[in-house]
Amino acid sequence: MPPIVDPKKCNGCAGREESFCEEACPGDLMYVGQDGKSHCHAARDCWDCMSCVKMCPRNAIETRMPYQLGYHKARLVPLMGKNAITWKCTDINGNTVTYKYRNRLDVKD
Ligand code: SF4
Ligand code: SF4
């Protein structure tokens, strides 16, 4: 499923030559349009890697789970922390569960 960009939250990464989501997408699928908002130009090529979702500093992107897994109402939202990522999973009935994982090892010199 393609990423869904909330136009109220997206500011096109104003001030950056390339937006975070454009930079992150391994398929080069995201672009900032004339409207100053991010879009996915080839939804069918998106493989739900969530890289764009995780990189957006404004939490403006989400992906919808493929219908084979959870139908359209199901959501998976990553909340990025400094050393951890919290995945907020919402099923088709609106039940939400969160999972928190460390995503970096503390480096001590
Ligand atoms: S990273 Fe977020 S704020 Fe920046 S262009 Fe993409 S969706 Fe918009
Ligand atoms: S989920 Fe992955 S493949 Fe799909 S648009 Fe975002 S970065 Fe690209």
Distance in Å, CA 25 to ligand 2 centroid:
5
Alpha helix locations (H) across 1-109? Answer: 20-24, 51-55
- pLDDT tens-digit readout, 75-92: 778 888 888 889 888 888
- pLDDT tens-digit readout, 10-45: 999 998 999 999 999 999 999 999 999 999 999 889
The Cα–Cα gap between 88 and 4 comes to 16
Domains by residue range for the chain, with CATH = 3-102 (3.30.70.20)
pLDDT reading at 59 higher than 80: yes
pLDDT for 80: 83
Closest CA to 25 of 68, 58, 63: 63
Q: How far apart are the first and last CA of the chain?
A: 42
Q: Identify whether the C-beta of residue 20 lies closer than 8 Å to the C-beta of residue 13.
A: yes
Choose the residue to mutate in 4, 5, 54 for probing ligand 1, maximizing ligand atoms within 8 Å of C-beta: 5
pLDDT for 66: 61
Could you tell me the pLDDT band of residue 70, with boundaries at 50, 70 and 90?
A: low
Q: How far is CA 27 from CA 3, 10, 23, 33, 104, in A?
A: 13, 20, 10, 17, 25
Residue 48 CB less than 6 A away from ligand 2? yes
pLDDT for 109: 45
pLDDT for 65: 65
Query: Active-site residues: which are they?
Result: 47
Lowest-pLDDT range of 6-10, 65-69, 86-90 = 65-69
Entry pTM: 0.75
Q: What's the mean pLDDT in 57-78?
A: 75
Closest CA to 32 of 68, 67, 7, 59: 7
Residue 12 CB less than 6 A away from ligand 2? no
